[in-house]
Structures are given as C-alpha cells and as structure tokens.
Amino acid sequence: MGRKLLLEHINVPGINTFDVYRSKGGYASVEKAIKTMSPDAIVEEVKKSGLRGRGGAGFPTGMKWSFLAKPEGVARYLVCNADESEPGTFKDRYLMTYIPHLLIEGMIVSSFALGANTSFIYVRGEMMPQIRILEKAIAEAKAKGFLGKNILGSGYDLELYVQPGGGAYICGEETALLESLEGKRGNPRIKPPFPAIAGLYGCPTVVNNVESIAAVVPIINEGGDEYAKLGIGRSTGTKLISAGGNLKKPGVYEIDLGLPVEEFIYSDEYCGGIANGKRLKAVVAGGSSVPILPANLILKTVNNEPRLMSYESLSDGGFVSGTMLGSGGFIAYDEDACIVRNTWNFARFYHHESCGQCSPCREGTGWMEKVLHRLEYGHGKQSDMDLLVDISKKIEGNTICPLGDAAAWPVASAIRHFRDEFEWHVTNASEATTRNYGLAHYADPLPTPEPVAG
Amino acid sequence: MLKVEDTQVPVDFSPELISKFDDVVSRYPQGKQKSGLLPILHLVQAEFGWVSVPAMDKVAAYLNILPIEVYEVASFYTMYFLRPQGKYVLEVCRTSGCCLVGAEKIMDHIEQKLGVKEGEVTADGLFSWRGVECLAACGFGPVLQIGPEYTFYENLTNESVDKLIGDLTAKAKN
C-alpha cells in the first residue's frame, strides 16, 4: 500500500473545517515556509521534488516557477487552475470538496514563494458547491491569521479569491483561463509571451493545477528530496487518479507513481476489477485527450513488460503503442462498450468545446463529429477511416492551443487500434445499430517480439 | 417560442444585487473591473433565471464596458441562458464516462417523463432539461446538476430521477 500525501486525512470527520484540519498538522507548511524559508528556498525544494504539473502536461512545476519574471514594482500573480473539465477527470472536485484547506494551504505557500500578494483560484462555474466550500475555508483561514495582512506577523500580505468560470472546457488551457479571468471569451493567447512574462493583466503569472498546488504542502513539510523518493524515475511522488467507467469501484485514488496498471485495475485496494464480471476491452488512461489503448496494450508494453502508472511507462511506444498519463483521468471500457460510439462522443465533445479561433480545429472537429456520427448510425463508408485520419493530421499541430491535438489524438488512436471495429460498422451497418462488436481480439496476449539478431 | 419583445422587457437590479456586484468588483485591481463579468452574469442568472439583453446592457453600464463585451461573453460560455428556461433546469452529463453507465438512457427517461424535448420548457414552466458536457464526476455517473445552486445528483437511476422530479414539483407548489 502506497503512502498517502494528499488524501491521508480525507476520511477524518470535519476535515473540511479549519480546526480539525489544523489538528491534523494542517498549515504547518505555511508556518515553516514563512517563518524559516526564503521564497527562493521554497522554489528550490519544489525543483528538488521533481513534481510535474498534475493538470495533464507534466511540465516540472519548480522549473515553471523559476521562469517567473520579477521586474521591480510590478505585481505578480498565482492562479490556480481548478477548471477541471477533461472528460474522465474528477480528482480536483474531490479534493476541493472534502479537503479544501489543503488547497488553501498550498496556495499560501506557493504565493509566498512566487511573491504574489493577490492570488486566484479559477473554478469551473458548474462547481458552485465547491466555490462555496472554498470561500468558507478562505474566510476561516483569514480569521486565524493565515491570510490577509501581515500573515503570522511576517509582514507578508496575501488576498486569495475564488473566481467562477462560465462552462467552457477551453478555459483549462492556461492562457484561455487568464482571458476568462479578465472577463473575456476564453480564446487562448498566442505564445510567446508566456504567462511567466505577461499573464494576468499583462503581469508575470504562474498558473498551476489544484493537485500540483496541493502537492507543495507535503513537499515543504517533508522536503523535496523525501518527496522525490516516492514514485519511479522522473515520475516522482504520488498522483491522484480519477477512475471511472466500467469499474467495480470507481473513485479517486492516490497512488505512488509506478504502480502497475494491472494492479490498479484488478486489486481490491484500488478499482477491484471490471464491474458485473465483464472483461476489459479498452482504457483511456489520462483523460479523453490521450490515445485510447486496447486492453492488451494498456496492461503490457510491446516488449511484454508490465505497463506502469507513470509518465514514462504509459508513453512507452509513443503513439504507435503507448499513450500518456495526462491528468490521470482513467476510463475503463468493458467488452460491451462500442469504440465507434465512444469516439463519436469524444469528437462531439471537442467540436462543442472548440473556441472557434483556429480554422483547423473549428472546422475539423465538426467534420470528424459528422463522419463518426454516420459511421455509428450505419451510413459510413470504408473510406471514412482514412478520411478521419487525414482530418486529424490536418488539425494536429496547426492550432494556437493544444485543444486541436487533444481532439485529433482520440480519433486517430481509436482508428489505429480498433480499425476492424470501425470497418465492421460499415460492412455490417444494420447489425451495428442493434449490437456491439464485443471484445474481439483486443485482450489477446501480445505476440512475443522476435529476438533481434546480433 | 420566444418572441423578440419578450427579450426586451426591462429589468431592475435591486440594491442587494448591486451590493453583491460591488463585492465581486472589489477583488480586482483598479481599472480591471471587467474581471467581474463572469461572476456578475452568474448572479444575474441566479436572480432572474436567465440573462436577457436589457440585463446584459445594465451589466455593461455597471462595469463601464461596451454592451458587445457582455454579449460576446454571455454567448461564448455555455452556462448562461440567453432565453427563459424552466424554473429547474436538469443538466445531464452526456460525455463518455457517464454514457458507459447509462446517461443516454437517463436522458431518454427524462424526455419521456417531462414530455418535452431537450431545451424546451414544460407547460407548467417548472422544468427544462439538456445534455451538457463532462461535469467532472465520472466515477459517480450518471450525474445531473440543477442551477442556480448547481446541486449535484449522482448515480442516477430512473427511479431516483422520478423521485427528484416529484420532490421538485412538490417544492414548487408549496
């Protein structure tokens, strides 16, 4: 059983209140940071921890912090990205609902490290209950002297505000989020300049995911080196995985990075296997944007090594046979799931959520949705699969923000790995509207690789 | 069907609502009051059930920005209703994870139960419903939410949906 750094006290009654949270050692990292550490020393600890952005991109958090410009007399901002909208991902909602003070504590330490005196938590608008929870937690922390003027007598001031979004997936992209926070449409900005130079109101800004900010708390309490001992290789620490779909025990799990995927799916400590005694057909391992893999490739790499829950192992094989850890939105599909229908569902999602700024994404996502719709409803052609791959290639890499790539990858990967299921939807069109393709060969053991001569 | 004149009914912002606006705007630096636009539109919708053109014009005047700056934002974000809705809007998640556990059947059931299509309002004005994209609760699907509090209902079944609609109907009549 792995160590829990974020969710250790999640089941303690009343942990959402300041007093109970404090009695479990809460806000110790604020005391340690503000009283005994310099801002640069905190950044150094986060660098040493190897923490990588938990929102999906996996960029090292400490390095992102060190890029922050610090011109004299210009305000700096920390903005927490709580716009959790990636299909499959629900860890941030869970964390903010049950242990809101962990995020507040992380925000205070991180703001101090970055020299921000005003910080925002941008929460997706649908999460109004979580916004109320966070505002209450902020008021409590402020009443106890952990926020506001002269925190703990240190002379450091910090105001923390919660900002609601308006229901747009694109605002999870950091520059779209900043536009939205400025009261505009969520159109991503052209980079450079990066937010570290010109972000909110044109000032240097860091945008971090909820889980990344929360992870700063144990890193400061125990030291970056201790944190880096957990996990595997460059995937240090623990990660929250949102497990959903056809699993016996869906939910949010904190795992040590490096846990075998097979253990995560089947052990009773985690998901407990596939619901209703069915067999696993496919997995989306890191939120809807990452390539979908058939059961055999998610459990083992092509070299027949066990696939692990880590940034490196999940991407082993590139996009030919691998995927990505992403945001840790883990969706399991059982043998009854229809990959064509699911791919259409994803394509509809990206079409709906495209901001419309770049033509390849605005038009291409709509075309993909239409083609997938006709495949699912029995009007597809054999040439549609190549057409979809062609559209996806024309979107990928040709847009201002990664939403284009995120829309292209699930479609391209579904056709790469499940092409015969798509073809069956064309050859057996009427049958495909009444029954699903089933498990087919998608869980068959992988062929043993030929030994390489010499 | 919404008529043009319905969209032009003048609205009044109460002093209580304006003081909530003031509280929002106080969070931002001087001159950056436009940042309050999204939160203020939420407050307007919570008060009136939707966001009308006269309401948007008043918001623009309050924030000292152009009306178009409000329209373009209100029409971009999916949470803002630009036409009247039922008193309770059932928003059902229709994205992958929820569909694997029956979200589409739940939407069919709601359509049948309420007798109105997606986006339409029931004759008594109490309900409308629509499918929305991922609500970040994939482990507890199917799910739906109801504004303006955005109360969440998880692990939906036909029976739990019936009960919810019954409870809301009773609540509205009291």
Give the mean pLDDT of chain A.
Answer: 96
**Is the four-CA dihedral A296, A302, A308, A313 of positive or negative sign?**
negative
The shortest CB-CB distance from B137 to any of A93, A128, A334 is to: A93
Q: What's the rounded mean pLDDT across residues A188-203?
A: 97
- Whether chain B has a CB inside 8 Å of the CB on A174: the answer is no
Q: Is A188 on the interface with B (CB under 8 A)?
A: no
ipTM computed for the complex: 0.96
State the pLDDT at residue B6: 67
| Bond before A71 cis per omega within 30 degrees | no
Interchain pair A342, B99: CB under 8 A? yes
pLDDT of A312 over the 70 cut: yes
* Residue of chain A minimizing CA distance to B27: A161
Q: Could B38 and A180 be called an inter-chain contact, meaning their C-beta atoms sit closer than 8 Å?
A: yes
Domains in chain B: boundaries: 4-76, 88-173
CATH no. for B4-76 = 1.10.10.1590
Q: Please work out, in degrees rounded to the nearest 5, the angle formed at the alpha carbon of residue A318 by the alpha carbons of A340 and A263.
A: 75
Estimate to the nearest angstrom the gap between the alpha carbon of A239 and the chain centroid: 10
Which of A 216-255 lie inside 8 A of B, CB atoms? 242-246, 250-252
CATH of A18-229 given 3.40.1360.10, 2.120.10.30, 3.40.50.11540, 3.40.630.10: 3.40.50.11540
Residue with tokens 């009854």: A336
Per-residue pLDDT, averaged over A218-230, amounts to 97
Asked if the model's pLDDT at residue A431 lies above 80, the reply is: yes
| pLDDT tens track for B125-148 | 999 999 999 999 999 999 999 989
Segments in chain B below pLDDT 50: none
Candidates A123, A128, A355: best to mutate against B (most CBs of B within 10 A) is A128
Q: What is the pLDDT of residue A280?
A: 97
Mutate to test the interface with B, among A126, A160, A253 (most CBs of B within 10 A): A126
Residue A447 banded pLDDT, cuts 50, 70, 90: confident
Domain segments of chain A as ranges: 18-229, 240-334, 339-432
For residue A368, CA distances in Å to A35, A294, A355, A373, A411 come to: 55, 21, 16, 8, 8
What is the CATH T-level fold of the domain B88-173, as seen in this structure?
Answer: Glutaredoxin (3.40.30)
Residue A450: pLDDT over 90: no
pLDDT in tens, A353-412: 999 999 999 999 999 999 999 999 999 999 999 999 999 999 999 999 999 999 999 999
Cα distance from A446 to chain B (closest Cα, Å)?
A: 26
Question: pLDDT tens digit string along A145-187?
Answer: 999 999 999 999 999 999 999 999 999 999 999 999 999 999 9
Residue listed under structure tokens 């609500």: B135
The CATH number fitting domain A240-334, selected from 3.30.720.200, 3.10.20.600, 1.10.10.60, 3.40.50.300: 3.10.20.600
Helix (H) or strand (E) holding A82: strand A77-82
Kindly report the nearest CA distance between residue B79 and chain A, in angstroms.
5
Query: So what CATH class is A339-432?
Result: mainly alpha
Question: Residue A161 has what pLDDT?
Answer: 98
Please report the DSSP string for A117-155 in residue order: SEEEEEE-TT-HHHHHHHHHHHHHHHHTTSSBSSGGGSS
Question: Rounded CA gap, B143 and A93, in Å?
Answer: 14
Mean pLDDT check: name the lowest of A77-81, A216-220, B147-151: B147-151
Predicted local confidence at residue A231, as pLDDT: 96
Angle between helix B67-76 and helix B53-63 axes, rounded to 10 deg: 120
Residues of B in Cβ contact (< 8 Å) with A179: none
Q: How far apart are CA A57 and CA A324, in angstroms?
A: 9
Phi/psi-derived region of residue A14, left when phi > 0, alpha when psi is between -120 and 50, beta in every other case: left
- Cross-chain Cβ contact B34/A92 below 8 Å: no
pLDDT at A449: 66
Per DSSP (E only), the strands in A144-229 are 159-164, 205-209
Q: What region does A273 belong to: left with phi over 0, alpha with psi -120 to 50, or beta?
A: left
